[in-house]
Amino acid sequence: MKRFIGFIKKEFYHIFRDRRSLFILFGMPIAQIMLFGFAITNEINNVDIAVLDHSKDATTKEIINKISASKYFSINQFIDREADIETIFKKGKVKAVLNFQKDFSKKLIKDHKATIQIITDATDPNTANTVSNYVNAILQQYQKGLNKDITITYQIVPQTRMVYNPELKSVYMFVPGVMTIILMLVSAMMTSISITREKELGTMEILLVSPIKPIQVIVGKVFPYIFLSIINAIVIVVLSIFIFKMPVQGSLFLLAMESILFIISALALGILISTISATQQTAMMISLMGLMLPVILLSGFIFPISSMPLPLQLISNIIPAKWFIIILKGIMLKGVGLQYLWKETLILIGMTIFFIGLSVKKYKIRLE
Amino acid sequence: MKTILYIIQKEFKQIFRNKGMLPIIFVLPLLQLVILSNAATFEVKNIKFGYIDNDHTSTSRALVEKFNASTYFNVLTDFPSEALASSSMLKGEVDVLLQIPHYFERDLQKEKQNSLGVTINAIDGAAAGVENVYVTQILQSFNQNIKASLLQVSDKQIQPIAIETIPLFWYNKTLNYKTFMVPGILVLLVTMITLFLSGMNIVREKEIGTLEQINVTPIKKSQFIIGKLFPFWVIGMGLLTVGLILAKVIFNVPMIGSLPLLYFYTSIYILVILGIGLFISNFTDTQQQAMFIAWFFTVIFILMSGLFTPIESMPKWAQTLTEFNPIRYFVEVMRMVMLKGSGFMDILPQLLKTLLYAIIMNGLAVWSYKKTT
């Protein structure tokens, strides 16, 4: 035991001696959470719209003003010909064109009906669809104003409540995601690289012929990183509470426990990667190339899992990050406790045990 | 020239000798392109929908049936009580909940107006907004139906004014997300592979101690750097080629613009990335440090590139920051050329900025690379 403690001490010294790496480990996640918390949003704001107005009468002017007054759109270009639409779309700045038909006001008065084309650059389907919906909503409002003398009969009006995030802040969606990605990648990368490094430099041999047991070697190497990751997690949570005003409706203690569990599962994954890689380069490429995209795309961090094709929904279940994001949102935003999160917690525990078990099995004392 | 060729030969041998790395460089990225492009969709469908029907009349049943018939909603269950429904919402089993009040049908006929409760899980604000639009649309068409069936002769109707909108989706009529995402994800894979490999390469020589040996040879600084980086430029272009073929064959992504233009742009772009990689290796001592810095910038570049979330929605200062993000330009160019057929003049701003970036980055990298004696 005394030897083991000595070994852990050595590992700690090893890490804390390298000032530059320490700065990288702590500085970078902080920089990232600050940047993403403020900058990333999947809302649609300030979309550039151009107008092709064939009537230029009072009504169309009023509608254009209504649309450009909304925070979603900025109208800064007026074009005169259909042929110009293609030209501005190819430049890529303008995402939609509103095309008002001729004699708009006259038609409204005479036929009670007039037409606007909403032409969108649908290479980005999400923006195109959202722009269409928002313009429609604004026009509906405008229409209501025109028809206010007519009593509308037989109407069911929805009373809508947005729960858990009444202000629809996108920060609530992204902060848990960013926190998960940082913890996952940093933890997995750190352990996989540091263990593989010993292998590559040949010092693993020396450790293995020492009286310390192989399992102790691994635990000893990982221990400082658990400590570092926990500090990272604390910093991220504190930042998200004080700077991004993320609520913690549920128990802070549970949040801490779940974070430690997730960190251990990521470290265990790192150990597993180190058992299958011979060189640091391989270990890094597996943890970076292999983990980054799946974790970003399949964890529900940006894209809703329920909209994915079924095979991918099934694959998403093996991504630990998915479960941790559910847990984070549950504790922070819904304020639920273990009675609602026991399933996700058990899955994370199961994965951790599985990773560790597999690593122990694969861990070859003799290096090829 | 001969010297450079020898170094290139050596590098290629080293890359292809490492059996563990080959699948990671070539198979893993393309596999991800094929599989993960399907995940990147902002469509909202299969919405988990529940309802509480306190009315149990033909009208309330007809309303639920409307939701059932919609392709967006998966109608789950009729909850017997509010408590059960909200607990189900906490568990994440339901995202949209409809509450139909007592005497819903009776009041509708008497008052000609009625309200019902809709509760939406809004943690994903954007999805909640879309769900709200869907609910409103269903209720509107339901209103039209009851109007037609309940309208009595005594109700005089003046024809209301209607502004009709016709949505036209150019370049992508079916609103297919894959045509939008495949080019973007391909950009990402080409970038990641070239950056990680070049960023680690020279540091590795440092760490193993072989850089010292090269430094005492008569090889010039420029020869060494060109010889080192050229293989990764080739690998990047190769990945782009295979990726474009997969995009066409598997996803049928259109290629409207000029392919040579795309290759011309990419050849400059990869130089930027290699410059960044070299720059990182000059300022780090171990592969671990190099990797972390490469990772740090990659994550920032990815999430601030407009690849997944729109740049114009970011705050102004963040939009300014994205001007320094090479991935942003490549994503824009790739999508513009492939999907809209933008030409040389359309992508000129991106091209010039990328070229400038390449010159500055490589200048800095070569300048900071010292052949220490």
Q: Which residues contact A249 (CB under 8 A, 6 or more apart)?
A: A331, A332, A333, A334, A335
Q: What is the pLDDT of residues B330-370, one digit of tens each?
A: 999 999 999 999 999 999 999 999 999 999 999 998 888 87
Nearest to A173 among B123, B129, B196 (CB): B123
Q: Which chain B residue lies closest to A342 (C-alpha atoms)? A: B91
Amino acid A365: pLDDT: 52
Q: State residue A10's pLDDT score.
A: 86
Pairwise CA distance, residues A287 & A279, whole Å: 13
Which positions 323-342 of B are in contact with A (Cβ < 8 Å)?
332, 335-336, 339-342
Q: Is B273 exposed, middle or buried (0-12, 13-18, 19+ CB in 10 A)?
A: buried
Chain B CB within 8 Å of residue A318 CB: no
Q: Provide the H-helix boundaries in chain B.
A: 2-17, 21-22, 28-36, 58-69, 82-90, 104-111, 125-150, 177-208, 210-215, 221-251, 259-282, 287-303, 316-322, 326-335, 348-368
Cα-Cα-Cα-Cα dihedral of A319, A323, A326, A330, to 10°? -170
- Collect all residues of chain A within an 8 Å Cβ-Cβ radius of residue B171: 89, 121-123
State the DSSP code for A210: S
Cβ within 8 Å, pair B342-A90: yes
- Residue A24 makes CB contacts below 8 A (sequence gap 6+) with B289, B292, B293, B296
The pLDDT of residue A229 is above 80: yes
Please report the pLDDT score of residue A367 as a whole number.
46
Distance from CA of A241 to the nearest CA of B (A): 16
Chain A residue with the nearest C-alpha to that of B186: A293
Beta carbons of A259 and A179 less than 8 angstroms apart: no
Structure tokens at B78: 């009729």
Chain B interface test: which of A281, A291, A331, A336 (most B C-beta within 10 Å): A281
B14: phi then psi, degrees, rounded to nearest 5: -65, -40
| Residue A194 predicted with pLDDT over 50 | yes
Nearest CA in chain A to B175: A125
**What does the pLDDT read at residue A27?**
85
pLDDT band (50, 70, 90) for residue A154: low
User: Which tokens belong to A329?
Assistant: 């949102």
Backbone angles phi, psi at A277, to 5 degrees: -115, 140
Show the low-confidence residues of chain B (pLDDT under 70).
150-158, 371-373
CA–CA dist A76, A92 (Å, integer): 14
- CB atoms A306 and B48 under 8 Å: yes
Q: Give yes or no for residue A363 having a pLDDT over 90.
A: no
Model pLDDT, residue A199: 84
The answer to pTM > 0.75 is yes
Query: Is A65 a residue whose pLDDT tops 80?
Result: yes
Across the interface, whether the CB atoms of A48 and B296 are under 8 A apart is answered no
Residue B89 amino acid letter: M
> Which chain B residues contact residue A198 at CB under 8 A?
none
Interface test with A, best of B41, B163, B187, B330 (most A CBs within 10 A): B163
B110 contact A CB<8A:
no
* Interchain CB distance below 8 Å, B293 and A165: no
Of B24, B177, B298, the CB nearest to A125: B177
Nearest 10 degrees: CA dihedral of B195, B199, B200, B203? 170
Q: Do B173 and A122 count as a contact with CB atoms less than 8 A apart?
A: yes
Question: How many Cβ contacts (< 8 angstroms) between chains A and B?
Answer: 356
**Does residue A221 contact residue A199 with C-beta atoms inside 8 Å?**
no
What are B249-299's pLDDT values in tens digits? 999 999 999 999 999 999 999 999 999 999 999 888 888 888 889 988 999
The structure tokens listed for B253 are 């992504």
Contacts of B255 in chain A (CB under 8 A): none
Q: Does A313 touch chain B (CB under 8 A)?
A: no
Q: Tell how strand B96-100 and strand B113-121 pair up.
A: antiparallel
Residues of B in Cβ contact (< 8 Å) with A277: 20
Query: A290, B119: Cβ pair inside 8 Å?
Result: no
DSSP one-letter code for B23: I
CB atoms within 10 A of CB B176: 17
How many C-beta neighbours within 10 Å does residue A317 have? 12
Q: Which residues of B touch A298 (CB under 8 A)?
A: 36, 39
Please list every residue in chain A whose beta carbon sits closer than 8 Å to the beta carbon of residue B342: 90-92
B153 and chain A in contact, CB less than 8 A? no
Q: How confident is the model at residue A109 (pLDDT cuts 50, 70, 90)?
A: confident
A40, A108, A128: residue with CB nearest B175: A128
pLDDT value at residue B156: 54
User: Which A positions 349-368 lie with beta carbon below 8 A of chain B?
Assistant: none
B321 touches chain A (CB under 8 A): yes
Average pLDDT of A91-117? 91
Question: Searching chain B, which residue's CA lies closest to the CA of residue A134?
Answer: B133
**Inter-chain contact B121–A164, Cβ cutoff 8 Å?**
yes
Q: Give per-residue pLDDT as tens, A124-139.
A: 999 999 999 999 989 9
Inform me whether the pLDDT recorded for A368 exceeds 50.
no
Chain B contact for A157 (CB, 8 A cutoff): yes
Partner B contacted by A310 (CB < 8 A): no
- The answer to whether residue A69 neighbours chain B at the CB level (below 8 Å) is no
A346 vs B211, residue with greater confidence: A346
Q: Is some CB atom of chain B closer than 8 A to the CB atom of A309?
A: yes
Q: Tell if the CB–CB gap between A306 and B46 is shorter than 8 Å.
A: yes
Q: Is A122 in contact with B170 (Cβ distance < 8 A)?
A: yes
Antiparallel, parallel or unpaired: β B162-170 and A113-121: parallel
**How many contiguous H segments (helices) and E segments (strands) does chain A have?**
15, 5
- Nearest to A120, CA basis, from A38, A233, A44: A44
Q: Which of residues 237-296 of B touch A (CB under 8 A)?
A: 284-289, 291-296
Q: For residue A197, which residues of chain B lie inside 8 Å, CB to CB?
A: 288
Is B62's Cβ below 8 Å from some Cβ in A? no
Range in A39-43, A313-317, B30-34, B261-265 the model is least confident about: A39-43
Task: Output the six-digit token pair for B227.
Answer: 């010889």
